[in-house]
Amino acid sequence: MNEISRRNFMLASAGALVAASLPGRVMAAGHEALKIAILVETGNLDLLQNISGLNTYTLVFDPLIRYGAGGELQPALAESWAVAEDGLSISFKLREGVTFSDGTPFDAEAAKWNVERWAGKPDFSWIGISDAMESVATDGTHGLVMKLKRPAPAGLMELAFIRPVRFLSPKAVDADGNQTAPIGTGPWVITANDNSHTTLVKNETYWGPAPAFSGVELLVVPDELARANGLRAGDLDIIGGDWVSPLSPRRARALEKDGGVSIYSEAGTTTMLLGYSPAPNAIVADKAVRDAIYVSIDRAAMAKVLFEGFADPIADLFPAVIPLSGTRHDVPTRDVAAAKAALAAGGWTEAGGGWDKGGTPLTLRFLVSEESLPGSRRIAEMIQGMLTETGMKVEISSVDNATMHERRPAFDYDLTFFTTYGAPYDPYGSLGNMFLSNVDSGPDGKVFAHPDLDPIVTAGLQATSGADAAMQAIYDWLDTNRGICPLVAAQRLWAYGPNVAKFTLPPTDYDMPFEGIELKA
């Protein structure tokens, strides 16, 4: 499941337009194209603007460093790199013989020009390496050196992000330096782009392995049923992914019954969890209440029933595939007796079918939004039933996206859902934005915040050595204090049609799938 408003700095705001019909298979450069449904239009792909769909960037623009499976950092436009012992500079050896698709050479000067467009700018202070950047220098024609004011432990991983850190042709800007066209060094070149589709053809000068087909056609199809029918008919080849064209577990199970349509799932990189209001007077400020909630929920049943088996129960902040995600905790078995014992030990008295403490009834306000997180009302109702059996009263408030964005940062709730950012942004992204009380999270709000937690999180984020132990200290504090209530890790869920002979996924759902995919002859 996809939380539409996971982060204020990463969301595309392009509007979804309903496609009246799907065209037949499109020919690209005289050959078949891979046809992928997208939820919203691609947009202009300006690397410095937050107005375009995320995944298409990865077809056109390359990073210095690529995020690989399990967070392994791999060479891309940089063949190699070295971080100084004091952490105050990073030296890159750039790949030689690379050109932008307009023929402009990619060299140290072009790389420096690109980095200086975002490094140190206030709009990009959310990127640690940008906020720490002091200067950028060339070292010969293919050497680049980033000098930092302070170490940036997440810096290398941040260079694998989707934007703004990727590379644009210096000729693709106007006199004021504004991007005029999406010209990168990537494997694909855009030939047509409007509010209904985007057409791309092979970049014949691409430095890396050539794609297995000649074109990609991205078709805007906002309606899930229309996407499924297009796949069945062979008018689409691929649907799915958090950020491309989300596929619900229920729809995936229905598609499984169709001949010629295949479902692909694998372990996800995000965690869905309950967050507690950090307001000091909230009922969930009482650890006994958090203890009771934690053991009242049947995560296995949730994964099986509500996610149709396309999710894994979890008791940790991050799935194991996320780097520096810490030692694993056993998923708790639902235990109503243990929940009641925790409340009683915390001074709550059970009476009249509920709980009371000092004249305050235990009533939890559960804030949900179908617009922000599709399916969340149904999940909340399942949790409500489980907590009710423990004797806790739960009032579900279902609101629109705008109201959610007002109430969540104001802590106007007791319980609400959160989803971690996933690869390649975690663990640093979720920890830095949703757990530090002194950081403005905007509409994302806080999963949990406490003065005692701030220095522990800060130490983990700033650790340049012993990062595993520093991160583990965060997870241990959250577990000991029941600061989070992880629920499930939704699996990465995709479907592909009869025209696809081979299907594989990139390491993150922010990348558009095409590598390793083959079409039938």
Torsion of CA 368, 441, 248, 197, to 10 degrees: 130
Please state whether beta strands 492-496 and 238-240 pair in parallel, antiparallel, or not at all (unpaired): antiparallel
Gap between the Cα atoms of 337 and 324, Å rounded: 34
User: Is 323 a residue whose pLDDT tops 80?
Assistant: yes
Average pLDDT over residues 44-59: 92
pLDDT score, position 259? 78
Q: Which of 206, 184, 190, 208 is nearest to 111 (CA)?
A: 184
pLDDT-derived band at 471 (thresholds 50, 70, 90) equals: very high
Per DSSP, helices labelled H in 13-139 are 54-60, 108-118, 128-132
User: In this structure, what token pair is assigned to residue 206?
Assistant: 């691409």
How high is the pLDDT of residue 467? 94
Q: Is 398 helix (H, G, I), strand (E, B) or coil?
A: strand
With tokens 């109430």, the residue in question is 407
Strand, coil or helix: 262:
strand
pLDDT at 338 (0 to 100): 98
Under CATH, which number does the domain 65-158 receive? 3.90.76.10
Which residue type sits at 266? E
Structural domain spans, the chain: 27-59+186-267+492-519, 65-158, 272-490
pLDDT at 17: 28
Taking the C-alpha atoms of residue 447 and residue 271, their distance in angstroms, rounded to an integer, is: 12
Q: Pull the structure tokens for residue 214.
A: 């000649």
**Residue 130 · residue 124 · CB < 8 Å:** yes
Compute the mean pLDDT over every residue in the chain, rounded to the nearest whole number: 92
Q: Give the model confidence (pLDDT) of 173-183 as tens digits.
A: 999 999 999 99
CB atoms within 10 A of CB 402: 12
Q: Which two tokens stand for residue 142?
A: 């293919």
One-letter amino acid at 366 equals F
In the CATH scheme, what architecture does the domain 27-59+186-267+492-519 have?
A: 3-Layer(aba) Sandwich (3.40)
pLDDT of residue 52: 86
- pTM of the model as a whole: 0.90
In this structure, the number of other CB atoms found within 10 A of the CB of residue 256 comes to: 12
Residue of 273, 238, 222, 251 lying closest to 490 (CA atoms): 273
The residue ranking higher by pLDDT, 291 or 438, is: 291
Average pLDDT for 375-380: 94
**Hey, what are 363's tokens?**
């009533």
- CATH number belonging to domain 272-490: 3.10.105.10
Structure-block tokens of residue 290:
């958090």
Q: Which single residue is written with the structure tokens 């869905």? A: 272
Residue positions counted in the chain: 521
Q: What is the pLDDT of residue 54?
A: 87
pLDDT, tens only, 335-361: 999 999 999 999 999 988 899 999 999
Report which DSSP code applies to 304: I
What is the reported pLDDT for 27? 42
265-315 pLDDT, tens digit each: 999 999 999 999 999 999 999 999 999 999 999 999 999 999 999 999 999
389-395: average pLDDT = 97
Nearest-angstrom CA–CA distance, 29 and 56 = 19
Q: Measure the CA–CA gap between 92 and 88, rounded to whole angstroms.
A: 14
For residue range 161-210, list pLDDT tens digits in order: 999 999 999 999 999 999 999 999 999 999 999 999 999 999 999 999 99
Give the burial class of 330: count Cβ atoms within 10 A of its Cβ; 0-12 exposed, 13-18 middle, 19 or more buried: exposed
pLDDT at 53: 84
- For the cut 90, the answer to whether the pLDDT of residue 22 exceeds it is no
Distance CA 322, CA 417 (A): 20
The phi, psi pair for 430, rounded to 5°, reads: -65, -40
pLDDT bucket at 7, cuts 50 / 70 / 90: very low
The CA-based angle 118-123-63, given to 5 degrees, is 35
Which residues touch 502 (CB under 8 Å, ≥6 apart)?
Answer: 516, 517, 518
Strands (E), 39-193: 65-67, 73-75, 78-83, 89-94, 133-138, 143-148, 188-193
Among 454, 498, 499, smallest CA distance to 477 is for 454
